[in-house]
A and B are shown apart, each in its own frame.
Chain A
């Protein structure tokens, strides 16, 4: 399920009609004469339902944020010496201030696997399973990279602009944030 599909919105107008994302374009943005605005979580999503009523609503829109992480993979400061099928790789220096158990290392090439670091000693790194490199023969040094702890993130907000405030609903957490009526929220 995409993040954008976590919630479904609907707006009940003063004449009793209900507007949804499937309604005609002309009515989808404006919330003039809206008496109730609802965000209902999709089946199986453990987020709260949100409703706004009793205030004058003006319009609604959504805002997406792609958080692209630069330098996701950091190159290790030297080479590792591995033997085909080995789960212990020798290092050229003491990397105990570079790697820690739980880090992931690998060639960093698209399609290549990452290997979890189990232990780090003064002259070697043990990984969770035997290394199975495709491009290097056994007995060779190879340069590897450390996977980042941060992954790219996509955040999706639904904003309802009201007379005296804005409400921002976060589709990733189910939380609501209230700001001033003209305040933009950028994460």
Chain B
């Protein structure tokens, strides 16, 4: 039988919420709740930052042989408009609590494309086998949204983050 791989929003190294068909919402609070609370208000000057989000792949059904080559990428073009950015980085398997100060070491999410993806298993390298069923696989991916004073309020274009993996 083929594997089922989910995307989880993490609250600890090995604990998270299935967001495969759900929403990851950047906000001014450290939780995975999807609501209208804690919005990111446009500052009068400079930039503000959301609490960071951490995503990780989860194996909810095992493959026949193995899963490998996890990678994350965007479509390469941000439709969020002026003043709004998202950065991402691979933090391996070292957990640290989410924070709202500016992330260091991250790169523009939209710089990660199918041709130049963010490596999803640099540390927890796999391959991931049936014995890894019901466990997290690959590395933690940390993301953060920034809102500058030049941003405009209102609706934003939806953007897509892709998790790709190979299976035998």
Contact = CB atoms under 8 A, between A and B. Distances in A.
B157 A71 contact: yes
A8 B5 CA distance: 19
B25 to A, nearest CB: 8
B148 interface: no
Contact of B163 (A21, A68, A110): A68
Contacts of B15: none
B21 interface: yes
A29 B65 contact: yes
B163 A71 contact: no
Contacts of A68: 7, 19-20, 24, 160-163
A153 to B, nearest CB: 8
A146 B164 contact: no
Contact of B64 (A28, A73, A144): A28
Interface stretch (A37-45, A59-67, A160-168, A173-181): A59-67
B153 A77 contact: yes
A104 B3 CA distance: 33
Interface string A69-83: 111111111000000
Given A72-B23, A77-B155, A109-B35, A4 B2 contact: yes
B11 to A, nearest CB: 16
Interface string B19-47: 11111110000000111100100000000
Given A28-B65, A187-B114, A71 B158 contact: yes
A110 B36 CA distance: 11
A150 B154 contact: no
Interface residues of A, number: 42
Interface residues of B, number: 43
Contacts of B161: 67-70
Interface string A137-161: 0000001111010111000100000
B7 A63 contact: no
B131 interface: no
A176 to B, nearest CB: 18
A5 B159 CA distance: 28
Given A66-B20, A77-B154, A152-B20, A25 B160 contact: no
Nearest to A112: B35
Nearest to A60: B168
A71 B5 CA distance: 22
A98 B164 CA distance: 34
Given A66-B20, A72-B23, A75-B39, A61 B158 contact: no
- Of A5, A65, A68, most buried by chain B (CB within 10 Å of CB) is A68
Contact of A62 (B80, B155, B157, B167): B167
Contact of A98 (B33, B34, B117, B155): B155
Interface in A101-147: 107-110, 143-146
B64 A21 contact: yes
13 contacts: A4-B3, A4-B4, A62-B167, A62-B168, A65-B164, A66-B164, A67-B161, A68-B160, A69-B159, A75-B36, A75-B39, A75-B155, A186-B114
